[in-house]
Amino acid sequence: MFGLDSKDTKLLIVVALLVILAPFILNPFPTDSALAQFNAGYPDLMQRFVIFGIFAIGFNILFGLTGYLSFGHAAFLGVGSYAAVWMFKLLSYNVIPAIALSVIVAALFSVLIGYISLRRSGIYFSILTLAFAQMSFALAYSVLSNPKFNLTNGETGLQVYPGDPQVLHHEGLPDVPHLFGIAMRDNFWEPVFGGWSFTFNNGYYLCAVLLIAVFYLSIRIFRSPFGMMLRAVKSNQQRMNYTGLNARPYTLAAFVISGMYAGLAGGLLAAMDPLAGAERMQWTASGEVVLMTILGGAGTLIGPVLGAGFIKYFENIFSKINDNVLHQWFSFMPDGMEDFMVFVLHPFIGKGWHLTLGLLFMLVVIFLPGGLVEGGQRIAALFRGGRKKRGGAEDGEHHPKPSPHVAE
Amino acid sequence: MSKSNFTRRGVLRTGAVAGAGVALPTIFTSRASAFTNEPTGSTVKVGFNVPQTGPYADEGMDELRAQELAVQHINGEGDGGMLNTFSSKALDGTGILGKKLEFVTGDTQTKSDAARASAKSMIEKDGVLMINGGSSSGVAVAVQGLCQEAGIVFMAGLTHSNDTTGKDRKANGFRHFFNAYMSAAALAPVLAKAYGKDRRAYHLTADYTWGWTQQESVQAATEAMGWETVNNVLTPLASTDFSSYIAPVLNSGADVLVLNHYGGNMVNSLTQAVQFGLRDKQVNGKNFEIVVPLYSELMAEGAGESVRGVYGSMNWNWQLTDAGTQALVKSFGEKYGRPPSGSAQTCYVQTLLYADAVARAGSFNPCAVVEALEGFEFDGMGNGPTLYRAEDHQCFKDVLVMKGKETPTNQFDLLELVEITPRNQVEYPPNHPMFGGDEASLGSCNDGA
Amino acid sequence: MDAFLLQILNGLDKGSAYALIALGLTLIFGTLGVVNFAHGALFMIGAFCAVTVQRILSLSYLTEDPTQKDFLGRPLQVATPYVESWFGTDIGSAIISWSVPLAILFTIPIMLAFGYAMERGLIKYFYKRPHADQILVTFGLAIVLQEIIKLFFGANPIQTPEPDALRGSLDIGILLGLDANAIIYPIWRLVYFFFSVAIIGGIFAFLQFTTFGMVVRAGMADRETVGLLGINIDRRFTIMFGIAAAVAGLAGVMYAPINSPNYHMGMDFLVLSFVVVVVGGMGSLPGAVLAGFLLGILESFASTTWATTTIPGINQIVIYLVAIIILLTRPRGLMGRKGVMED
């Protein structure tokens, strides 16, 4: 189907179903139960799962296939967001031109940065991208927000003000980002079944459709001759050069494609919430997408999406567990025991979520170099036992082998 | 930014404010509430959005403590704190309108993106009616805009930039904390008295919005007193070493250094300026002086001995002697073993003010609450009689001028109160040019219906 | 002229911090071939060694003073440090005031042990793994370390002053025959500069003139051959990791009075020091030192009013701009060797 083999079709259908049914899947606990704390099926977080999934899929096209480790990808997400908000300010709140422009601007920006950075490889490439991203962040945060030439609105973040032109805006259209009148932040269905309640959000489904589309695109890229070429860059660029092929056009194309994915993610972020802050471009944000990709499994198709979901879940759900919540959970225990449990868990929850994330991340890198996908495969292999003796499961062939990465 | 006076959007706004909800395919909606997150059960939730990770985590921790205390007092636990001294008696210690007050917490990370994400999760998932807290102006403006769109009330925490209630003011947003203009207006006369009217100032300014507004305010206020401004140098936010900025100061002919820095920036720049020996020098025949326009207890603690003798301003300090302050210091101090910080007091007071406004309005509808808060005059919460101005939702109250104490007797005794500048000296018209001028408008209240 | 000198001075002391961190990074990279993203965290831990020593020395007992009141109106608990009651007030307070230099003695063994443990317990398992994995695991470690520090010391910067005797500033301008106040420089920063020059010199001398250093250099050039000669090169490399950690720690201890330690100071320095290492050339020790001082001085010049008015924002980006230019014109950095960190 769609030019995919049956295995890939299955994967695409599974992903599509997961994404479409996410509002149900992510809200497994009744609203009034103590476990509702762990529900993630509210619009903002679902949007983030999907948007950062797109970001990570794009990053994976560069890193997973070519092995070039970019430490500045957040810059493309940032310019994408800025472009989208500028579209809202000048044209109208319609998300189509905004998202289109954000992809275009990110593409141009990544051609520029990619052309220069790709002249080097290994850690030199990483540092070059990092340098560009840090420069963009520093300029966006301060200099480019000066009153005379306010491109980014600095610390506060770029947003739409009532005085902005918005030439295509007219009466009857919502005063928030919308798709031909359908407001992104509104929910079109809020069913309640017994104790469970679910939210179906317009914006989420726009992001979801785009995620499925770009996921399909990434499968096609992975399976295409172009994708083969990129993997050749990763495994041995020198040999490739000797055969008379110039690797740079291929890597540049991969760089720009992944930059466009990042721009799309940035545009969607702005479309869901019309404010673009400079922190989106900081190197820690670039580091985050690296974490997502590795955590999920670099070079696999589904890994980056899983990684993105995992980190965003931590950031938004885990960080909100405070001592009060802990006391409620353990209130069935005797007082001393309860206090002890809270005391033990205290450093890891709420404000300590960074610590837990850091530890988990280390464990994954040490014991599961293939990320969560490898973990899943190992578990699956355990269940399958000796029934099938296949080297790896679904994605085995793209599994990052301990072969030299480009950063070597 | 386009500065045209064409207010077509303004017309639209008043015409079709509810726009947000109008255009969606309503056949699907099953929502029946009159406003965002209308409470139905026996409890009502508010959200405390403070930095729990990142450099301001300790500041956020203190805000959180104060907010928890306020919730207890509203629900009738503990000694009641400022409820006993608050001039309005609408709250009776049984929660709000018969519902118990509950809270959820979120982490702003002092980043506007993260703050909005955590605020959205509180609104969408936890169903909060009000969000309180924060410790930077960027975050405050970002979350304030979000609350306006979502239709809930926002009470800003520590935010000192003029913009929060200036060009970025919003109908659903309120600020108890003072701002850069008020700091400057309170400080300038004290500085002129202490250091004379013939002074030349050199500004080091954090290179982002808050730094700029504070620098602008301080420069205007000190120049009105007769001071001269020699130079204003912008320093990158990420700086940790200010030596290249401090070193040229002595040779510039300036005799006062104004540090428009906050947080880690302020701790480092002040410490390093003192290390450069600036305060031991004589320039133009006068002692060289350093001024830090915005003080906070935690910053003073971080800078240690360097703050001695350095002037700055504060919104509130636990050393005030009025009954409200003493009540808060007592209940906070007994519970947590330390006096509340200035931003903690702001967060505490705002929680009480919100609850009181709901009680007086008799409704949780954000627009009713906004109406109850607008133009509200109250007393008994420290700082004397206070007004929540209707035009820009800024609180007006006395401003404190502080000075680093020369011989502190204990770890909390770092700053001393020099002067309480009365409210009428720090007031300004709502359309002041530093606050967005005539163009700035609150818009209209949004209840999300 | 004096402004010029002033910025050179500023650049030297900023540069000495960069150089020390970059030197440690390069030692680890050059010997073990590991890209250590936790190096900034080691610097931060060094600074917190100073805080810890200061805390230990000022451990106090409380006595109630009924004449004074605390903030709740209760009698004030007056804290008297034990060292003051043991050695008398004068000697005791002098000991406390010298806590940063004293912390050096405490930091060296701690950091050596820490580096040793880190190499044996974690890094060892990553020699055969791709560089990306090394970067990631050490990055994770850096997050964990800084969160642990935050758990114990909080997020607020902690004041760790220099000794009273070394406080204040020198008027170097007068020494050079210029006007008074033309070049004022804090004594502690000069101490820091000479301290780092001594450490850098010490490391180079150690590698150059001792047998141990000779073997290590040989191992850096060709690890396999040295191994075949029957020398246990791994053990020596482990020790070098400990030494590199100690260098980072020492840089941190002495930096504490300049930059009040906070838990994320390591991350603040990490990105910069990587830029320094790459500009210097991966694996080149003199390159790291040279690039450290060079970038420090450039940063200082970019911060002058003249520079920022000519090109607004130049002070924010100069380091990165220089890194880009150097990497594009000199592919392996200033003094890099061929074949390091490339495919």
Residue B335 lies inside a defined structural domain of this protein? yes
Specify the pLDDT at position A219: 93
In the 8-state DSSP scheme, what is residue B310? Answer: -
Same domain, B197 and B298: yes
Same domain, B306 and B376: no
Instruction: Count the neighbouring beta carbons within 10 Å of the beta carbon of residue B315.
Output: 26
Specify the pLDDT at position B5: 41
Q: Which secondary-structure segment (H or E) carries C81? A: strand C75-81
Question: How distant is the Cα of C188 from the closest Cα of chain A, in angstroms?
Answer: 30
Question: How distant is the Cα of B57 from the closest Cα of chain C, in angstroms?
Answer: 6
Length of chain B: 449
CATH of residue B84's domain is: 3.40.50.2300
CB B56 within 8 A of CB B263: yes
Candidates B134, B90, B169; CA nearest to B352 is B90
Residue B358 lies inside a defined structural domain of this protein? yes
Nearest to B298 among C150, C156, C161 (CB): C156
Total domains in chain B come to 2
**Two structure tokens written together for C201:** 């010199």
Q: Which residue has the tokens 């255009």?
A: B23
The answer to whether residue C191 neighbours chain B at the CB level (below 8 Å) is: no
Q: Decide which of B397, B413, B429 is a domain's last residue.
A: B397
Residue B208 lies inside a defined structural domain of this protein? yes
Candidates C65, A175, A235, A228; CA nearest to B9 is A175
N- to C-terminal Cα separation, chain A? 39
Residue B31 lies inside a defined structural domain of this protein? no
Same domain, B171 and B109: yes
Please give the residue of chain B at the shortest CA–CA distance from A280.
Answer: B113
Specify the pLDDT at position C167: 86
- Is the pLDDT confidence value at B76 over 80? yes
Total domains in chain C come to 1
The answer to whether residue C198 neighbours chain A at the CB level (below 8 Å) is: no
Same domain, B101 and B214: no
Residue B15 lies inside a defined structural domain of this protein? no
Q: A44 vs B121: CB contact, 8 Å cut-off?
A: yes
CA distances (Å), origin C325, targets A128, B247, C330: 10, 29, 8
Residue B428 lies inside a defined structural domain of this protein? no
Specify the pLDDT at position B32: 54
Backbone angles phi and psi of B418, in degrees to 5 = -95, -45
- Residue B206's domain comprises 181-314
CB C138 within 8 A of CB C24: no
- Residue C35's domain comprises 2-56+99-329
A370 by Cβ neighbours in 10 Å (0-12 / 13-18 / 19+) ranks as buried
Instruction: Count the neighbouring beta carbons within 10 Å of the beta carbon of residue A15.
Output: 19
**Helix ranges (DSSP H) in B151-228:** 180-195, 209-224
**Two structure tokens written together for C260:** 């009040």
Specify the pLDDT at position A387: 55
Q: Decide which of B263, B295, B314 is a domain's last residue.
A: B314
Residue B258 lies inside a defined structural domain of this protein? yes
**Two structure tokens written together for C37:** 């993203």
CA distances (Å), origin A211, targets A56, A383, B4: 11, 31, 39
Task: Render pLDDT for C273-315 as a digit per residue (tens, 0 to 9).
Answer: 888 888 888 888 899 999 999 999 998 898 888 888 888 888 8
Mean pLDDT of B399-408: 92
Q: Which of B19-33, C40-54, C223-237 has the highest mean pLDDT?
A: C40-54
Domains and CATH numbers, chain A: 6-316+368-398 (1.10.3470)
Separation CA C171–CA B250 (nearest Å): 11
Separation CA A275–CA A189 (nearest Å): 26
Q: Decide which of B379, B397, B415 is a domain's last residue.
A: B397
Lowest mean pLDDT of A79-88, B293-302, C175-184, name the range.
C175-184
Specify the pLDDT at position A399: 40
**Helix ranges (DSSP H) in C229-284:** 233-255, 265-280
Q: DSSP readout, B400-438?
A: EEEEE-SS-SSTT--EEEEEEE-GGGS---TT-GGGTGG
Residues 253-272 in B contacting C (C-alpha not used; CB under 8 Å): 264, 267-268, 271-272
Residue C255 lies inside a defined structural domain of this protein? yes
- Is the pLDDT confidence value at B364 over 90? yes
User: Which amino acid, residue B343?
Assistant: S
Mean pLDDT of B221-239: 91
Please give the residue of chain A at the shortest CA–CA distance from C275.
Answer: A127
HSE-CB at A175 with a 13 A cutoff on CA atoms is 27
Same domain, B174 and B248: no
Helix axes A202-223, A225-242, angle to 10 degrees: 40
Residue C117 lies inside a defined structural domain of this protein? yes
Mean pLDDT of B397-405: 94
ipTM comes to 0.89
- Is the pLDDT confidence value at B279 over 90? no
**Helix ranges (DSSP H) in B1-56:** 8-15, 19-22
Residues 6+ apart with CB under 8 A from C236: C212, C215, C216, C219
Length of chain C: 343
Separation CA C182–CA C2 (nearest Å): 6
- Is the pLDDT confidence value at B4 over 50? no
Quick one: CA dihedral B121, B124, B128, B131, positive or negative? positive
The answer to whether residue A359 neighbours chain C at the CB level (below 8 Å) is: yes
Task: Render pLDDT for C9-24 as a digit per residue (tens, 0 to 9).
Answer: 888 888 998 999 999 9
Q: Which secondary-structure segment (H or E) carries B293? A: strand B289-294
Specify the pLDDT at position B323: 93
- pLDDT class of B14 with cuts at 50, 70, 90: very low
Q: Which residues pair with A189 in a beta bridge?
A: A200
Separation CA B151–CA A137 (nearest Å): 32
Same domain, B108 and B71: yes
Separation CA B317–CA B326 (nearest Å): 11
- pLDDT class of A266 with cuts at 50, 70, 90: very high
Triad A283, A286, A289: Cα angle to 5°: 155
The answer to whether residue B434 neighbours chain A at the CB level (below 8 Å) is: no
Radius of gyration of chain B (CA): 22
Mean pLDDT of C61-89: 83
Mean pLDDT of B359-377: 94
- pLDDT class of B327 with cuts at 50, 70, 90: very high
Residue C82 lies inside a defined structural domain of this protein? no
Q: Which residues of B touch A183 (CB under 8 A)?
A: 20-21, 23-24
Percent above pLDDT 90 for chain A? 36
Q: Which residue has the tokens 């480790």?
A: A69
Specify the pLDDT at position C338: 65
Backbone angles phi and psi of A179, in degrees to 5 = -110, 100
Q: C320 vs A135: CB contact, 8 Å cut-off?
A: yes
Mean pLDDT of C202-219: 90
Same domain, B79 and B54: yes
Task: Render pLDDT for A351-378 as a digit per residue (tens, 0 to 9).
Answer: 788 888 889 888 888 888 888 888 888 9
In the 8-state DSSP scheme, what is residue C210? Answer: S
Subunit partners of chain B (3 or more CB pairs within 8 A): A, C
Candidates A366, B402, A304; CA nearest to C140 is A366
Specify the pLDDT at position B31: 47
- Is the pLDDT confidence value at C92 over 80? yes
Residue C88 lies inside a defined structural domain of this protein? no
Task: Render pLDDT for A190-213 as a digit per residue (tens, 0 to 9).
Answer: 888 888 888 899 999 999 999 999
- Is the pLDDT confidence value at B361 over 80? yes
Lowest mean pLDDT of A12-21, A26-35, B56-65, name the range.
A26-35
Q: Which residues pair with C78 in a beta bridge?
A: C63
Separation CA B286–CA B191 (nearest Å): 14
The answer to whether residue C132 neighbours chain A at the CB level (below 8 Å) is: yes
Same domain, B285 and B245: yes
Specify the pLDDT at position A386: 57
- Is the pLDDT confidence value at A398 over 80? no
Specify the pLDDT at position C291: 93
Same domain, B300 and B203: yes
HSE-CB at B46 with a 13 A cutoff on CA atoms is 31
Candidates B228, B274, B236, B270; CA nearest to B253 is B228
Task: Render pLDDT for B178-209 as a digit per residue (tens, 0 to 9).
Answer: 999 999 999 999 999 999 999 999 999 998 88
Collapsing DSSP states into helix, strand and coil, what is residue B420? strand
The answer to whether residue B30 neighbours chain A at the CB level (below 8 Å) is: yes
Separation CA B135–CA B157 (nearest Å): 6
Specify the pLDDT at position C334: 85
Task: Render pLDDT for A285-297 as a digit per residue (tens, 0 to 9).
Answer: 898 898 899 888 8
- Is the pLDDT confidence value at B22 over 50? no
Separation CA A295–CA C126 (nearest Å): 17
Indicate left, alpha or beta for C67 from its phi (over 0: left) and psi (-120 to 50: alpha): alpha
Q: B245 vs C303: CB contact, 8 Å cut-off?
A: yes
Candidates C161, C132, C144; CA nearest to C267 is C144
Residue C290 lies inside a defined structural domain of this protein? yes
User: Which amino acid, residue A120?
Assistant: R
Same domain, B163 and B116: yes
**Torsion angle, CA of B20/A315/A348/C55, rounded to 10 degrees?**
-100
Specify the pLDDT at position B30: 41
Subunit partners of chain A (3 or more CB pairs within 8 A): B, C
CB B175 within 8 A of CB B349: no
Task: Render pLDDT for A335-355 as a digit per residue (tens, 0 to 9).
Answer: 888 888 888 888 887 778 888
Specify the pLDDT at position B7: 42
Q: Which residue has the tokens 């007071």?
A: B349
Specify the pLDDT at position C39: 92
Residues 6+ apart with CB under 8 A from A343: none
